[in-house]
Amino acid sequence: MMDLLWLFLSFAKISIIGFGGGYGIMSIMLTEVAKFSVTAAQFGDLIALELIVPGPIAINAATYVGFLAQGIPGSVIATLGISLPCLTLSYIVYRFIDRFRSNALLQSFLSGVKPAAVGLIAAAAIIVGRDVIGGLQIRGVAASAAIMLLVLVGSAKFKVNPILLTVLSGVAGAFFVR
């Protein structure tokens, strides 16, 4: 029971400091979920799954991690944990929307928070990448690094469909990463 409470609180925390959309939330989740024995490698699986599962990235992530941590009850609790705080906060903001719009203090707070979210996401990318490479032999390391570079350029520069990139990487992995 206590475990479920911790799970809820952990995801509630993520919901409240999770700026930067889906990836922003996931980058914070990465460090949080280590507490529930979810590895960065499993996180990599999550990213791939999210490409083929519909809905908000953060919800998918909460469901996945919650399930790995505490089975079906865990998946429910984690999803509730990540949904309820922002639902409540948004509703409150809606009721006070006029004051919120023109609040300079709030805007300046956010001007610091938004670039922070970008930094967090970049760190998350490195952590997942590092973990992937960590468990492999030399040949696997070279292949993984090559895949990472190609996918990075393909996505950032050429806007190739991420699902296509992931599938190709999986195929490449089957052949080259042993």
Partner 1 sequence: MEPDRLKKLRDLFVVFFKASSFTFAGGLAILPLLEKDLIDDRHYMDRDEFLEYVALCQTLPGVITINCASFVGARIAGAAGAFVAAFAAVLPAYTIMLIATILLKLLPQSPVIVGVFAGVRAASAALIMASVFSLGKKQIKMVFAMVVSAAVFAAVLFFDIDALPLVLAAGLAGVIYEALKRKKA
Cβ-based neighbour number of residue 44 at 10 Å: 14
Q: Contacts with partner 1 in 135-154 (CB under 8 A)?
A: 136, 140, 143-145, 147-152
Distance between CA atoms of residues 120 and 126, nearest Å: 10
Pick the binder of partner 1 from 1, 2, 37, 94 (CB under 8 A): 94
3-state secondary structure of 37: coil
Dihedrals phi, psi of 92, to nearest 5 degrees = -60, -45
Min dist. Cβ of residue 40 to partner 1 (A): 9
Instruction: Count the residues of the shown chain that bind partner 1, applying the rule CB under 8 A.
Output: 109
Instruction: Assess 1 for contact with partner 1 (CB under 8 A).
Output: no
- Of 34-93, which residues contact partner 1 (CB under 8 A)? 41, 43-60, 63-64, 67-68, 72, 75, 79, 82-83, 85-87, 89-91, 93
Closest CA to 73 of 4, 142, 144, 11: 4
In the bound state with partner 1, the residue whose beta carbon lies nearer, of 6 and 19, is 19
From the CB of 74, what's the least distance to partner 1, in Å? 11
94: Cα separation from own chain's centroid: 27
CB of 92 to partner 1, least distance (A): 9
- Quickly count: other Cβ atoms within 10 Å of residue 159's Cβ: 8
Which of 15, 38, 70, 77 touches partner 1 (CB under 8 A)?
15
DSSP annotation of 114 reads H
Q: Name which of 5 and 53 has its Cβ closer to partner 1.
A: 53
Contact 15, 77 (CB under 8 A): no
Among 96, 103, 109, 139, binds partner 1 (CB under 8 A): 109
